[in-house]
Amino acid sequence: MQLTNTELANLALLVSAAEQAFMAGNYAPPQEVASQYTLLETIYGDGNAMFGWVLTANNLVVTAIRGTERPIEWIQDAEFLLDNTPYGQVEHGFNLVATSLVVGNVPLTNYLAALQGELVIVCHSLGAACGTIISAQIAEQRPVTLVALASPKVGDAKLISHISSLPNLTSYVISNIRDIVPMLPPGEVYTSMPNIILLDPTKLQELTPPRYLNDDAVSDHLVENYIGMLDISVFDAYNLGYGYNPTLISTKAPSGVAADLGRVLTSAARDITKL
């Protein structure tokens, strides 16, 4: 499926909504989502945590997988061990979460592969790593479009070569040039997906009022920032300005999560500068 920046931004809104729903403890899609899509299933995993939704509209099936929000997920993100697969090596923590994702008692990969319609998986951060692994498995059976925002590296060069060569997989791998997470895990064994779409926040900073919070590793990683960089009109239409408020972390996530996230990103920055 070919997607414009505006379409990518609107898909990213679904991830933003899923992250907010998780943190609020209200797992139903908000009215802005429910007015455009029908909920098929809610996705759970990793100790029965809510990870997103499977939604449909007309012949389109969209799976939205949220990013990291809990301290335990950052611990898993930071394991940086490798599991062997027939196609190469995959990062252990990401693979662990990806394989835990279910709808009901059915693995998410199996559920999505059996659905009718045009399939899109949109995902952010840890969710993007999981979405990449899941999309590759589904692409062995049917066409799928992957929209991966702020994704860390999921495996070694052999695995990435296999994923990127799958004829049934269309991928949009999108990174903010200031975001540290797409540079993780550190080390030569881990490889990025090819043809990454790089976003530059400079124009957002120059707007009046500015739409970007400067010099903050957490803000550089927010999906709301990605939406603004893809299409500022989508950002403005959905009043996402809270995403650029210095008090965001205290309102969107518990302070403990923000502190863990900040520590991981700060540590990652130090590791990357040593490479």
Q: Which tens digit of pLDDT belongs to each residue from 161-206?
A: 999 999 999 999 999 999 988 998 888 899 999 999 999 988 777 7
What residues pair up with 173 in beta bridges, in sequence order? 148
> Chain centroid to CA 153: how far?
12
109 contacts 54 by C-beta, under 8 angstroms = no
Domain that holds residue 256: 5-274
| HSE-CB of 148 using CA atoms within 13 angstroms | 31
- Cα three-residue angle 4-141-62, rounded to 5 degrees: 35
List the structure tokens of 181.
């997470």
Predicted confidence (pLDDT) per residue in 3-19, tens digit? 999 999 999 999 999 99
User: Helix %, strand %, coil % for the chain, to 5?
Assistant: 45, 20, 30
- Largest Cα–Cα separation, the chain: 52
The tally of domains found in the chain comes to 1
Cβ contacts of residue 142 below 8 Å, gap of 6+? 113, 119, 168
Q: Which CATH number do you get for residue 148? A: 3.40.50.1820
pLDDT at 20 over 70: yes
